[in-house]
Amino acid sequence: MSDKKDCLIELGTEELPPTALKGLSKAFCQNISKGLADANLNYAEIKSYATPRRLAVVIKQMETTQPDKSIERRGPALQAAFNEEGCPTKAAMGFAKSCGVEVEDLSKLETDKGAWLAYTLEEQGQHSRDLIPGIFQMALDKLPIPKRMHWGDLDAMFVRPVHWSVILLGHEVIPAEILSVATADTTMGHRFHYPHSITLSEPAEYEQVLEETGKVIADFDKRQTLISQQIISAATEVGGEAVIDTDLLDEVTSMVEWPQVIVGEFEAHFLDVPSEALISAMKKHQKYFHIVDKNQQLMPYFITISNIESSDPQQIKEGNERVIRPRLADANFFWSQDKKTPLENKLERLKTVVFQNKLGTVYDKTQRVIELSAVIAENLAADVAQAKRAAQLAKCDLMTEMVNEFPDLQGIMGRYYALNDGEDEQVASALDEQYMPRFAGDQTPASAIGQVLSIAERIDTLVGIFALGQVPTGDKDPFALRRAALGLLRTIIENKLILDVPQILQQSVKLFSAELFASPEKADEVCDAVYKFMLERLKGYFSDQSISIDVFDAVLALTPAQPFDFSRRIAAVAQFKQSDAAESLAAANKRISNILKKQKGQLADQVNSDLLQETAEKHLAEQLTKVSERVAPLLAEAQYTQVLTELSELKEIVDKFFDDVMVMVEDEDLKNNRIALLNQLRGQFMQVADLSLLQ
């Protein structure tokens, strides 16, 4: 049995990209784990470590050698291995020689397809010391690094210069060269607090020695938790609450090895500037966390994370205050300057901004969106004039100094400037809401005008880009069309909007240049492609809500034109699938579907009661008529759950029909009448979904 030892693998570098560190660490650990699995080296646990200057894993209780394995080689068939006298042929002797044995040492392999010469080779497992360097290198080679570079005179390429590497198996250093750097048993402490090498005697002490001696908290999660706790505590001390953005927390955790929280202040008069601008300046440029009061209003404080434990923290505090002050002053200046001219005056300047070469400028896009917003507003019984006004002003804030400096504030600043100009609150809100949802899980527009503008903006982009043939493929989606499609679908569904999307797509097509849509056929082709693309996004949307794929496919078969209607059908079918009648009726629908598919020509749907002979078919026809009458008003109100509940009452009758009635009889009139009855039955279910697709 193989011995088991702990193993440490570490790569030491210059500061790694902070926005990528967490992903690199996860990938590095996964690659090591896969390498060990492929090498058949078992272990108890693998733990990853990541700081700005290192990627590491500690593998606990790893087997030091691979298990031995038997490799069976198959040689020539017996009839080709020996001649009539029973002497080995050249084929047999050649096979034996390749195995390094005599012919008599070979065995026979008997199968139901014949007999062959065979040889079983016992292969001894390799020692982990011979395998780990290769696994280490493979794990680095497969890291998701878009651009690797040469550093200094080293031959190897990596995202940052490499300074040290460690492979420690138990107490033993495994000699290797990783990215042109020889392995050793020494790591490095904190760049400032302990800029010295630290000799490690065994992997188990790695985390503790680094922290106690080197002033490095190597565990990413531990470091992040400590930072979070310090931030919360610091905010409480100044009477506020810290707003901890998870992405920012990941980033600052990736920038420090020995985190220390510092609270700074800025002048209260800066609070006259919209808080989003101040927060953006603090977060994006300086990586500061902001603090709000009990009313969620911004307070004149910020929190920064230092990488050193200073003997004079006041100096660090004042230094950061000096740095942030010009940023906030710039925001204040932009706010003051931008307010001097109304948004409307910036509309003409959009003619200088290209949206897409063949689709024109942002001004051209704005004109299309104005008209499309009017159409959508009319469909949704929203205020058409307000919708057109919001669309007219939608992109004007792109021409402001504030948005030029802080692009993430587009829409948000549009709302502030519109209110400053005296625009209607609905119009102002829509300028912000047009970008919602901005990310996965973000809220959708709350106001009617915001919903209209959000939908119009996205549809215009989808139709235009699809018309150019630039459909997203693989990871390439430069215009974020997947996000646009899902965003507008969420807006429609989650706000329960009754909107015929294919119809709106056709309206959108008419607003583009005649050259782009040279024929009605191309217009139809683009509209169909865009709507199909949108419905594909719905598959993931409903999957996230634990809707099974067969339920989705059952509704998709009908291609409902209204996404909210699609959603209601999904809910009804998902509930129906849990009912006692579901399995039987799904099977019946599948059986009916198969029967109808085999019929040629136009299928009849009118049943001749005089041709009903069997009790079961008479009963089915009678009950189907009654159920149809009850279902009709429910369908008119899109009460799909109640529709399926009513149809579920046919279960016993349908089962009885298939037990007692032969459909495909020789009498053509009788057969066609029964097919018409089944066609009627299928038609009732198909008003909700294709239940034959349910598993």
CATH number of the domain to which 40 belongs: 3.30.70
Asked if 149 and 240 sit in the same domain, the reply is: no
Give the DSSP H/E element, type plus range, for residue 583. helix 582-597
CATH of the domain at 504: 1.10.3210
Cα 17 from Cα 33, distance rounded (Å): 23
pLDDT score for 1: 47
Cα 682 from Cα 617, distance rounded (Å): 15
The model's pTM: 0.81
When pLDDT is averaged across residues 649-673 and rounded to a whole number, the result is 79
Segment 582-610, tens digit of pLDDT: 888 888 788 878 777 777 766 666 777 77
When pLDDT is averaged across residues 66-84 and rounded to a whole number, the result is 80
Residue 653 in any domain: the answer is yes
Asked if 49 and 117 sit in the same domain, the reply is: no
Residue 387 in any domain: the answer is yes
Asked if 348 and 268 sit in the same domain, the reply is: no
Asked if 116 and 143 sit in the same domain, the reply is: no
SS3 call for 673: helix
Q: Pick the residue with more confidence: 692 or 451?
A: 451
**Where does the pLDDT of residue 2 fall: very low under 50, low under 70, confident under 90, or very high at 90 and above?**
low
Asked if 62 and 75 sit in the same domain, the reply is: no
When pLDDT is averaged across residues 335-351 and rounded to a whole number, the result is 96
Asked if 540 and 514 sit in the same domain, the reply is: yes
How many domains is the chain built from?
5
Asked if 38 and 149 sit in the same domain, the reply is: yes
**Domain range for residue 110?**
70-122
Q: Please, are residues 507 and 372 in contact by the beta-carbon 8 Å criterion?
A: yes
Asked if 229 and 297 sit in the same domain, the reply is: yes
Crossing angle for the helix pair 128-141 and 21-38, to the nearest 10 degrees: 140
Q: Does the pLDDT at position 677 exceed 70? A: yes
Residue 550 in any domain: the answer is no
Q: Which of 166, 186, 212 is the last residue in one of the domains?
A: 212
Asked if 274 and 370 sit in the same domain, the reply is: no
Asked if 503 and 577 sit in the same domain, the reply is: no
When pLDDT is averaged across residues 503-520 and rounded to a whole number, the result is 91
Q: Determine the number of helices (DSSP H) and then strands (DSSP E) in the chain.
A: 26, 20
SS3 call for 110: strand
Backbone φ and ψ of 47, nearest 5°: -125, 130
Three-state secondary structure of 59-105: EEEEECECCCEEEEEEEEEHHHHECCCCCECHHHHHHHHHHCCCHHH
Q: Please, are residues 289 and 253 in contact by the beta-carbon 8 Å criterion?
A: no
Residue 558 in any domain: the answer is no
Residue 133 in any domain: the answer is yes
CA distances for 509 relative to 347, 354, 382, 506, 522, angstroms: 23, 20, 22, 5, 10
Residue 561 in any domain: the answer is no
Residue 297 in any domain: the answer is yes
